[in-house]
Structure 1
């Protein structure tokens, strides 16, 4: 019966730690992300055609073969520049 009491005390300790440490930690992280997003520039980065970036040794097996799977047309440049900006 003493192991049951000990187990109950351990679960109570973890429950308290979850509410006192984990939840405030998550809240602080969410606040940090929110504040950094407020100061983040939403402008497109300048395109610099470095030869070692955006190397395509073979085509991607989806779409037109030139865009990565998680391609973002606002932030990810293609080898010849951003989409829609000639």
Structure 2
């Protein structure tokens, strides 16, 4: 399973969005986003939502398989 920051970067690159665009959309510095993009900084939930908004995606895409697996486990137990 890929770390969240790798998923964010894959989506950003696929959409052709710059790191500067995301940082400015979030009201942060480029160095702030760079820290996230290389895994040095862990974004909080609010920051993840801002990044998702800047990329025009649902925040859940950052978690992909992990979210599906945890939902399936809960469903099986119930």
User: TM-score, length-normalised on structure 2?
Assistant: 0.25
**Structure of greater relative contact order (alpha carbons < 8 Å, 6+ residues apart):** 2
User: TM-score, length-normalised on structure 1?
Assistant: 0.24
